[in-house]
Amino acid sequence: MGSPAGKGLLQRRSQSGRGRAGTLQKGVEVSRIQRAFSVGAFGLSRLRRMIPTRWSITAVDDIISARLRERIKTYEWIPEQRVYSLEAMGNRWVVLMSPGVWTYESIEAWYPGTTWNPTEDVAFVGDWEGPLGRVGYAGMGGCYYAARLAVTEALERERRQARVLVLREIHRDQIMPLGVWLVRESVRAALRGRPARFDTLEEALEEAGRHLDLPLRFWLRVSETLGGGRQETLSRYL
């Protein structure tokens, strides 16, 4: 095994965290690390276990993005408000980045009749973290960490820090569950595009609203990072 991943598999005495970090630093694709993690290829030999692929995917997304987050917090803030957007496979995505100390929030709106929403109302689910990260596992599951990985990768490439809000609408066009890979790759694709740039948060929110079906006021009522701490400046949307 001459590849970086192969060398990682052979490090029988390495601690699991050190092995994962070393593999990441050598530029191995995340999907390869996830497969190796699933078959118990990292850590002390006597403690290695096979785990479900779904668990390994989220664990690796979490570990790598948390490591990137710590580096990002040492960088300067982005210089302006940014709005990235994407529409694909029955999903609409908006990523809002603002100058400031790292915070991250992900919110999903599942339309009636979609996979995880059998009700007649739009169902919102979301989680967030501040500069110190999270204490417990995100209630919305692996999608939270998949999007966080895509966001931290983009900020690390730019060597910048930002407040980040990821918004996702899931419409009836998505007829089957597609896994967290859809979240990771969709947010990556959105962040590879050219953002709309603005001087004020209000202008950025107006632009974000143009890419979503649901009125902006619903998102702001759910958001912990926008609706909670900026009532005065955002009151006209509520």
Domain boundaries, the chain: 4-72, 81-237
Binned at pLDDT 50, 70 and 90, residue 172 comes out as confident
pLDDT of residue 24: 53
Mean pLDDT of the chain: 79
Which letter does DSSP use for residue 93 in this model? E
If phi > 0 it is left, if psi is from -120 to 50 it is alpha, else beta; for residue 89 that is left
191-234 per-position pLDDT tens digit = 999 999 999 999 999 999 999 999 999 999 999 998 754 444 44
Tell me how far apart the alpha carbons of residues 165 and 9 are, in angstroms, rounded to a whole number. 36
Helix (H, G, I), strand (E, B) or coil at 163: strand
> What is the pLDDT averaged over residues 150-176?
91
Residue 237 predicted with pLDDT over 50: no
User: At residue 27, does pLDDT exceed 80?
Assistant: no
Percent of the residues in the chain that have a pLDDT greater than 70, as a whole number: 69
Model pLDDT, residue 234: 47
pLDDT at 32: 56
Query: Nearest to residue 158, comparing CAs of 95, 62, 76?
Result: 76
Nearest to 68 by CA among 183, 156, 8: 156
More confident residue, 192 or 63: 192
Length of the chain counted residue by residue = 238
pLDDT tens-place string over residues 96-135: 999 999 999 999 998 887 776 777 788 899 999 999 998 8
